[in-house]
């Protein structure tokens, strides 16, 4: 993640420098949606979820927010059609948009057969690109004839040097030229060409990633200020490095043109390049999609029942909380049995833990579950708390210091004097999240190994039986009888 660029765009966005912005969509009556809202909290937002979770629905509803013009725009009927098999009625789409210093709310409805629109609609340039459904050129209507019969070019249009360089950077190879030729058999069916060190290649022979990325760059170089850019399955046909570079390109483009970008994705590489407020997880439940903001990339892209089939889930913030919770349960007389029936999943910040706990307590998830909040958080419905009233690192380090560090020197195989000095030195840092890593750097172990060892020793010398038993009881409570 480019933290400098992220902070720059975050500061500018919070300073109100995006004069046009789609703040929220509300969806009712479409594909299982029952009035849920999706907020866009960052200029570049990724919608993530398993197939059928509703990602494309969100993108299509967003694309329908603004008035259709000669140049651009979409009606809901462009995306949500009545067919022999599907009849849409009682649909209600709500919108909150920003216009300069003003915020406007309105609705688009389809009570029966016709869509109804508010008296006043607002214009904005919309750019829609469905990468996953872009066909190879030779499979696109009309291009087979071009491939067979073209004998020359009527004209050519070069991709700008700036965007050719962007394309080269994203795909990780140098393109000496990039252009679009109008063939003599049909000047409207332009063909993209890329020149590399061995010659020029048309889109009939380019790789899938080159083909789609070339079309994407051509369209994006013409996108005006304040546009809304929507891309479905943004990572399609791109290798991991290219995916990371592409989403960082969108962050830069958004900042420079004050554009809003909404993408859908199944890629961890895309999510890892975005801050928590830019990640929106759609989680299918019995009452329609639940919208979770800020979920970790790992949790966002992990089905709850993919590999193992636990009877219940514990939702924690991060791997450190996962390790500590596991060690606390392991210290209980029934710990082995409890751990064999549950899965502990790091899901992201405390708001995500609280959301998952709430959904589980309401019976809206496929399996029973319990949110496990760090001790420095407020108690929430459907949640239990880790020991102490501080972050896990602080509790474990400070308690072990009170116990003269227990037998950590034996566990780590290092002299007590040296180890204690390293521990005290690490705790001088204000960033308590870094403490295990600082110790690991000194004793040549990973931060995970350091934390596991310290969590185990904390359970041995610091964990009180009543605290252990209460934690285990909260887990037992969610297990089926």
DSSP sequence for 176-203: SEEEEEEETT-TTS-EEEEEETTEEEET
Asked if residue 439 is part of any domain, the answer here is yes
| Averaged pLDDT, 16-25 | 94
User: Judging by DSSP bridges, how do beta strands 228-232 and 126-130 pair with one another?
Assistant: parallel
Q: What is the pLDDT of residue 434?
A: 95
Q: Do residues 7 and 107 both lie within one domain?
A: yes
Tell me, yes or no, whether 367 and 474 share the same domain.
yes
Find, among 142, 141, 215, the residue nearest to 179 by Cα: 215
Weakest mean pLDDT among 177-186, 299-308, 341-350: 299-308
Coil/strand/helix, residue 105: strand
Q: Is residue 345 domain-shared with residue 469, that is, in the same domain?
A: yes
| Residue 294 within any structural domain of the chain | no
Count of the separate structural domains present in the chain = 4
Please check whether residues 373 and 317 belong to one and the same domain. yes
Q: Is residue 417 one of the residues assigned to a domain?
A: yes
CA distance 399 to 401: 5
> Residues 227, 233, 237, 239: is their CA dihedral positive or negative?
positive
Task: Report residue 237's pLDDT band, with 50, 70 and 90 as the boundaries.
Answer: confident
Same domain, 111 and 237: yes
Domain identity same for 113 and 230 = yes
Residue 439 sits in the same domain as residue 354? no
Same domain, 378 and 404: no
Separation of CA 448 from chain center: 24
Domain boundary among 219, 236, 270: 219
Q: Does residue 130 fall inside a structural domain?
A: no
Q: Which residue has the higher pLDDT, 456 or 210?
A: 456
Residue corresponding to tokens 């040296």: 418
Among the candidates 219, 234, 264, a domain finishes at: 219
Same domain flag for 399 and 469: no
What share of the chain in percent tops pLDDT 70? 94
Round to whole Å and give the CA distance between 10 and 278. Answer: 10
Q: Please check the confidence at residue 397 and state whether its pLDDT lies above 80.
A: yes
What mean pLDDT comes out for the span 368-386? 94
Q: Which pTM was predicted? A: 0.78
What is the per-residue pLDDT for 303?
54
Site of tokens 């899965």: 343
**Residue 183 in this model has a pLDDT that exceeds 60:** yes
Report if residue 296 sits inside a domain. no
Q: Compute the average pLDDT of residues 8-18.
A: 92
Give the number of other CB atoms < 10 A from CB of residue 435.
23
Co-location of 67 and 114 in the same domain:
yes
Q: What pLDDT does 135 receive?
A: 46
Rounded CA separation 459/455 (Å): 6
Same-domain status, 358 and 472: yes
Question: pLDDT by residue (tens digit) across 270-289?
Answer: 999 999 999 999 988 777 88
CATH of the domain at 27: 3.40.50.300
Q: Residue 304: what pLDDT?
A: 47
- 415 inside domain: yes
Domain limit, last residue, from 179, 204, 219: 219
Residue 414 is assigned to a structural domain of this protein: yes
Q: Does 353 score more than 60 pLDDT?
A: yes
Domain limits for position 157: 137-219
Residue 116 pLDDT > 80, yes or no?
yes
Do 114 and 24 belong together in one domain?
yes
In a domain, 249, yes or no: yes
């Amino acid at each position: 993640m480019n933290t400098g660029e992220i902070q720059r765009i975050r500061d500018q966005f919070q300073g109100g420098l995006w004069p046009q912005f789609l703040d929220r969509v509300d969806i009712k009556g479409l594909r299982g949606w029952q009035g849920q809202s999706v907020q866009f909290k960052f200029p570049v937002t990724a919608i993530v979820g398993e197939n059928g979770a509703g990602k494309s629905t969100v993108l299509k509803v967003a694309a329908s927010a603004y008035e259709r013009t000669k140049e651009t725009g979409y009606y809901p009927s462009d995306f949500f059609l009545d067919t022999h098999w599907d009849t849409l009625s009682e649909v209600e789409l709500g919108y909150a948009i920003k216009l300069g210093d003003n915020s406007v709310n309105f609705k688009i409805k389809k009570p029966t057969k016709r869509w109804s629109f508010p008296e006043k609609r607002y214009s904005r340039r919309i750019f829609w690109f469905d990468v996953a459904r872009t066909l190879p050129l030779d499979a696109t209507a009309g291009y087979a004839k071009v491939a067979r019969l073209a004998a020359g070019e009527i004209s050519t249009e070069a991709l700008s040097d700036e965007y050719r360089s962007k394309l080269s950077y994203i795909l990780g190879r140098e393109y000496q030229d990039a252009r679009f030729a109008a063939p003599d058999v049909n000047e409207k069916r332009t063909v993209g060409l890329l020149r590399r060190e061995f010659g020029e290649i048309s889109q009939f022979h380019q790789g899938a990633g080159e083909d789609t990325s070339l079309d994407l760059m051509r369209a994006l170089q013409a996108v005006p200020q304040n546009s809304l850019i929507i891309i479905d399955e943004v990572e399609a046909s791109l290798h991991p490095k290219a995916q990371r570079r592409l989403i960082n390109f969108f962050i830069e483009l958004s900042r420079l043109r004050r554009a809003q970008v909404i993408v859908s994705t199944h890629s961890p590489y895309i999510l890892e390049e975005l801050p928590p407020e830019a990640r929106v997880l759609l989680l299918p439940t019995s009452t329609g999609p639940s919208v979770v903001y800020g979920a970790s990339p790992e949790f966002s892209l992990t089905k709850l029942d993919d590999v193992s089939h636990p009877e219940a889930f514990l939702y924690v913030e991060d791997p450190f909380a996962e390790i500590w919770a596991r060690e606390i349960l392991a210290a209980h007389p029934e710990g082995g049995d409890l751990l064999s029936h549950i899965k502990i999943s790091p899901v992201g910040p405390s708001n995500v833990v609280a959301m998952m706990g709430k959904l589980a307590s309401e019976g809206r998830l496929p399996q029973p579950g319990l949110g496990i909040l760090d001790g420095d958080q407020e108690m929430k419905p459907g949640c239990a708390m880790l020991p102490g009233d501080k972050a896990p690192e602080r509790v474990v380090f400070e308690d072990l210091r009170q116990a003269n560090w227990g037998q950590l020197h034996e566990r780590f195989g290092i002299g007590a004097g040296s180890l204690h000095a390293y521990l005290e030195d690490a705790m001088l840092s204000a960033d308590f999240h870094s403490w295990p890593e600082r110790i690991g750097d000194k004793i040549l172990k990973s931060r995970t190994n350091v934390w596991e060892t310290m969590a185990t020793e904390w359970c041995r010398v610091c964990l009180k039986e009543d605290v252990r038993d209460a934690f285990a009881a909260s887990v037992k409570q969610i297990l089926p009888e």
